[in-house]
Amino acid sequence: MASVCAGACRCAHPATHRRAGPAVGRAAAGALVGKAAQNWMVDTESPARIERSSTDLPPRVGARLETLDAVIVPGVPGMTAERMGLEPEEAVFPSTTTDVMKVLREQSVQVEFEDPDAAHPLITHKAAEYWIPVAIFIETGAAHAAGDLMARAIVSFLGRRRADKSLLHVKLGRVTRGRTKIEWLEAHGKGADVLKAMREFRE
């Protein structure tokens, strides 16, 4: 079962979240309409599922990355709108978004939402798993490698032991300055394996 809220939550499963369901109406603050989302099931004994791909860089995101180090875009790694019980055009973010952005900023990473003026509803899954916000980084050198930056943020947010032992769901993009392609890494599985794949996401 998933819960949704219209604002920035500060904890994993805030008691004030409303459960997504057919009877939930759309409020002006950005509440969601949808069926109860189903949690992603991952076999903790199996290797993490790692996928790489590339897509064209949307002009809007490219423009934002002219002045930022990273942009948070709508979506929940591994989840579709249908699986979450949402309409295709509805934008949601994992409940970890606010905390991850805070940690990145503490690391001197300039990060903002793709559309800072839109509502940013957060969705929480009732499971011992963590969905990390979908982020696109501009890379200008090894010191600004997207995978390293996000891996450090996750460990800082969760703590080393929890990050290694938990199930993580990550979708991370990187763009080389002056290019028009996003290179993507998507990873689902045991945290230690996912973090390793992120740190190796530089080739």
* Vertex 61: Cα angle to 60 and 67 (nearest 5): 105
pLDDT-derived band at 112, boundaries 50, 70, 90: very high
Share of the chain above pLDDT 70, in %: 74
Q: Across the strands, what pairs with 129?
A: 167
Given a cut of 60, whether residue 149 has pLDDT beyond it is yes
How buried is 182 (Cβ within 10 angstroms: 0-12 exposed, 13-18 middle, 19+ buried)? Answer: buried
pTM confidence score = 0.77
Q: What distance in Å separates the CA atoms of residue 87 and residue 138, rounded to the nearest whole number?
A: 30
pLDDT-derived band at 110, boundaries 50, 70, 90: very high
pLDDT-derived band at 95, boundaries 50, 70, 90: very high
Higher pLDDT, 197 or 128: 197
pLDDT at 203: 64
Residue 98 near residue 69 (C-beta atoms within 8 A): no
Instruction: Give first-to-last CA distance, the chain, whole Å.
Output: 37
Instruction: 142-145: list long-range contacts, CB under 8 Å, 24+ apart.
Output: 142/202, 144/69, 145/174, 145/201, 145/202
| Most confident of the ranges 34-43, 119-128, 163-172 | 163-172
Nearest Cα to 192, choosing from 150, 171, 161?
Answer: 161
Tokens of residue 75, six digits: 């979506």
pLDDT at 131: 95
